[in-house]
Chains A and B, each alone.
Chain A
C-alpha cells in the first residue's frame, strides 16, 4: 500500500486541478490507495511540513518533483518546470505517473 499525500494551501487555486489529475491517474492504474489531504494553514505549518508551495504531492514520502522539493517553505503557489521549458502550477501527468510507478 502506498501513502499518497496531497499537501495544499487554500490561498492557491491549483490544488483541485492537481487532485483531479491525480485521481484520474489512480483510477486508470487501478490504484485504490486513498489520497490523504493535508491542508497547510500557516507559515509554521509550511516549515514543519517542509512545504515548498501548493500543491505538493508525495508518494511514500517522496516528492513527485524532487528538484522543486527543496524550495524554501512558504504559503505560495508552487512552480513546476517541465522539460520543454513550460511552467505550470501543477505537476505534469508524466511526473505523477513516474512517481506512482
Chain B
C-alpha cells in the first residue's frame, strides 16, 4: 500500500457527536491526520504528545484529527462507543473520527497506529510516518511531527518527509 500525496476527502462521525469533513478544516493552515485507535499501546504512548501539539499549535491554525478505522467486530475495544470513552478519559482536544468503512484508511494508505500525515495549506502531503523517534517521551531526540508542522507553517518542506510508522497494524475487516 502506498501513501497518496493529497488529503483524501472524508465525512466521518466524531466522538463529539458531529460529523466532520475535509471541507470543514479548510481554514486550517496545517492539517494533520493521525491513523489511530483505542487499544494499541503505541497509540497510548504517543497520544499525549499528539494532544499537546494540538494545544500548542491551535492558535497558529494547526488542526490535528485522529481517526480509527479498526474493525470493532474483531477488536471490540475499538468500537465507536469505546472511542467516545477513550477520548474523554484521555482528555482529547483533537477531533477523533470513526472510519467505519475503512475507506479513509485505504485512501491514506495507512498501515499502523499511530501513523501521521501532515498536509500543508494546499493539502499536499509534506510528512508521513512516526510522531518522533521514541515511544518514551523523555528519550525522543528527533521530533518529526513537530518539525513537519513548523516547516509547513513556514511554507517549507520538512528536512525529513517520511519515516516508518511504529505501532500496531490497522485492523482490516476480513
Contacts and interface: CB of A to CB of B under 8 A. Distances in A.
The binding surface of chain A is classed by DSSP as loop
A88 B168 contact: no
A79 interface: yes
B41 A77 contact: yes
A34 interface: no
A13 B166 contact: yes
A69 interface: no
A67 B124 CA distance: 45
Interface size class of A (residues with CB under 8 A): 10 to 19
A76 B75 contact: yes
Contacts of A74: 74-75
B57 interface: no
B167 interface: yes
A80 B42 CA distance: 11
B127 to A, nearest CB: 21
B169 A79 contact: no
B44 interface: yes
B39 interface: yes
Given A76-B75, A77-B40, A13 B167 contact: yes
B69 to A, nearest CB: 15
A89 B42 CA distance: 7
Nearest to A88: B41
A78 interface: yes
B135 interface: yes
A43 B73 CA distance: 13
Given A74-B75, A76-B75, A77-B40, A87 B45 contact: yes
Interface in A59-75: 74
Interface of A: 11-14, 43, 74, 76-80, 87-89
